Structure 1
Amino acid sequence: MSPLPSLSRREREVMDLVYELENATAAEIQESMADPPTYSAVRSILRNLVEKGHLVSEPDGPRYLYSPTMPALRARRSAMRHVLRTFFGDSVEGAVATLLELREGNLSSEEHARLKAMIEKAAEEGR
């Protein structure tokens, strides 16, 4: 499967919002944007994203509902691979350490136990 075309800053912002909202209309996306462009510009960005294969649209009465073509789990994994490679030199330890540093407050005992179990499972599987 070939990779989808890259995104501009505005296209990335729109994609982030569509993933956050799960699916959305142009008006909902515009309302959610920081420093939003005109409604026509949002529609143009959405049309480009559909043409690039990042979104699909379906009629919803007089408007269109936009949804991502890539499932959220796959998109998260792809984004994390990019972040790991770009910012952490493929160091999972570095990424986890940064996440823990960014966390306001302490991990709950449940979160700590789940993370510990995930690390132990990964070790058993040779990861």
Structure 2
Amino acid sequence: MVEIVGLSREKEAVKVNALPALSRREREVMDIVHELGNATAAQIQENMADPPTYSAVRSTLRILMEKGHLVSERDGARYVYSPTMPAQRARRSAMRHVLRTFFRGSVEGAVATLLELRGDELTPEEHARITEMIEQAAKEGR
């Protein structure tokens, strides 16, 4: 794991644990592994939208292990791959990166963009849950 020092909105140094960035293909593999919980190279290949060769999948898995995103365990003649961090933690890490990179740490800017893109698609139930989350965060001082 690589440790990066970033700046918060208040310009204070903040340590952020981050794994190396992923290519589009690596992200696709990680999404599949997170969805399945763990997977073999063959399972990953059959779940890919435009699957490369089996050896290309194995090569991608090796790279993801080197980057620290996956671990493997031998199961007979095959290897089973698992993510090194739970999906929820990976989502938070990715969101922190997006906030820093594209919104200068502004949650308001990110939410405004999401609403601009998808606001008209929100169901009344989703709108109510989001409103409730915002109110709860305000009560907790977040």
The normalised TM-score by structure 2 is 0.74
Structure 2 gaps, min length 5: 4-17
**Displacement of 1:111:** 2.0
Gapped runs of 5+ residues in structure 1?
Answer: none
**Counterpart residue type for residue 79 of structure 1:** A
* Equivalent position of 2:86 in the other structure: 71
State the superposition RMSD in angstroms.
Answer: 2.2
Cα distance between partner residues in 2 of 1:30 and 1:106:
32
Quote how far apart the aligned CAs of 1:104 are. Answer: 7.3
Given the two structures, how large is their TM-score scaled by the length of structure 1? 0.81
Paired residues in the alignment total: 127
- Select between 6-15 and 34-43 the one with higher mean Cα deviation: 6-15
- Secondary structure at the aligned position of 2:22 is classed as coil
Evaluate the alpha carbon distance shift between residue 106 and residue 45 of structure 1 in structure 2; reply closer, same or farther with a 3 A threshold. Answer: closer
SS in 2 for 1:103: helix
Higher helix share: 1
* Cα distance between partner residues in 1 of 2:120 and 2:39: 33
Q: Percent identity?
A: 79
Give 1:100's match in structure 2, choosing from 115, 126, 134: 115
Higher strand share: 2
- 1:41 alignment counterpart: 56
